[in-house]
Amino acid sequence: MSEKAITVYDIAREAGVSPATVSRVLTNNARVSEEKRVRIEEIIKKYDFEPNGLARSLSKQETKTIGMMVPDIRNPYFSNIFIECEMVASQYGYNMILCNTMNDLSSELSHLKNLCEKHVDAIIQVGGNADEIKPDEEYVKLINKTAKKMPVVVGGEFPGAECYKVYTEKEHGMKELIDYLLSCGHRKVNLVGGRNTVIPTVRKRESLKNCLKLHNLELADELIIDCKYDIDGGYEAMKQLLSSDNLPEVIIAVNDQVAMGILKACQEMKIKIPAEISLVAYDDTSFSEIATPQLTSVNYNLKMHSEKMMKTIIDIISGNETEKIKSVDTYLTIRDSCKHVLV
């Protein structure tokens, strides 16, 4: 049997009995022969199921609650995706529990264990350890153990995790962005923000290099600047860039928060956006709209992303077949932060 969230039907099929018989075993009902009971209990042990959790599921005593873990709810990307998930959940009669881990591994482990103890019906994780190229081994093991008992959906690639995944395809949005910058007459870009141990950042960098190659352009390593994913990170990185003699031509911020920090540094240094430097970003959150100027930004299609994660959970709970891995395309929203230059 493949690694997935095991259902009553899977257990019944392997044991050669009806789902009702499995339910009776899990609820200690006497109306089951000893031979069948032993066979069913061996399968439950084989897949490391907790009888109490299974009995609750099999008897349809759902909590109608879904837990969601995010690394920092102050980031509008994560707050938006939680809100979108919550709206879909409410349509199906489910409530959401928000767990804010603040990018701390011990907090992730603690929240995951607590959600299991609360017997939530499913768990969603976006960001945090799930985005690391080399995630913590203990955490991966706990996710995999949890995924055998209930639906677990991750909004990313999460190496080693044997759960359902809905990730964002970076290539499409980046291609639109590069095509747009080239149409504006730009040929040289800087990529600011993130670190090379985080999968979404690595994918953006790879996509940028691939898209530039299509136009016989290259991105030099010195044009990629690591920094934290917040406003302070963008501010410090931009101060570093502005300390050189040559102003950058175009800056691609790894997210809207970094872009806001870049704008802050430029305002302090009396550098005008987009007259002197063009600035574009990733996320397309409310920050993009309230910034001055409004930011051209790659949209993560969070509504579609959230809907796919939630509907994956609903399908699993309902016993419907659904793909183990799904993707969502990004797209470009053009605003006022990029200038056209003569070519």
In total, the chain counts a number of residues equal to: 343
Distance CA 306, CA 203 (A): 20
pLDDT 10s digits, 292-337: 999 999 999 999 999 999 999 999 988 888 999 999 999 999 999 9
pLDDT score at 56: 47
pLDDT score at 52: 44
Report residue 109's pLDDT band, with 50, 70 and 90 as the boundaries.
very high
pTM for the structure as a whole: 0.81
Residues 6+ apart with CB under 8 A from 147: 3, 4, 5, 161, 162, 163, 164
pLDDT score at 240: 92
pLDDT (mean) for 238-267 = 95
pLDDT(286) > 70: yes
Q: Is 39 exposed, middle or buried (0-12, 13-18, 19+ CB in 10 A)?
A: middle
- Using DSSP, state whether 173 is helix, strand or coil: helix
pLDDT score at 50: 58
CATH number of this structure's domain 8-58? 1.10.260.40
- Using DSSP, state whether 199 is helix, strand or coil: helix
pLDDT 10s digits, 202-216: 999 999 999 999 999
Contact present, 283 and 223 (Cβ < 8 Å): no
Give me the residue spans of the domains in the chain.
8-58, 65-168+302-329, 169-300
Distance CA 47, CA 21 (A): 18
Task: Give the torsion through C-alpha atoms of 131, 132, 133, 134, to 10 deg.
Answer: -140
Report residue 5's pLDDT band, with 50, 70 and 90 as the boundaries.
low
Edge-to-edge strand order for the sheet containing 331-333? 224-225, 189-192, 250-253, 278-283, 296-299, 331-333
pLDDT (mean) for 87-91 = 95
pLDDT 10s digits, 319-328: 888 999 999 9
pLDDT (mean) for 257-280 = 97
pLDDT 10s digits, 232-251: 999 999 999 999 888 899 99
Contact present, 177 and 333 (Cβ < 8 Å): no
Check for a shared fold between 8-58 and 169-300. Answer: no
CATH number of this structure's domain 169-300? 3.40.50.2300
DSSP string, 72-134: -TTSHHHHHHHHHHHHHHHHTT-EEEEEE-TT-HHHHHHHHHHHHHTT-SEEEE-SGGGGBSS
- Nearest residue to 310 via CA among 297, 328, 294, 295: 328
37 vs 200: which has the higher pLDDT: 200
State the CATH class of domain 65-168+302-329: alpha beta
pLDDT(17) > 60: yes
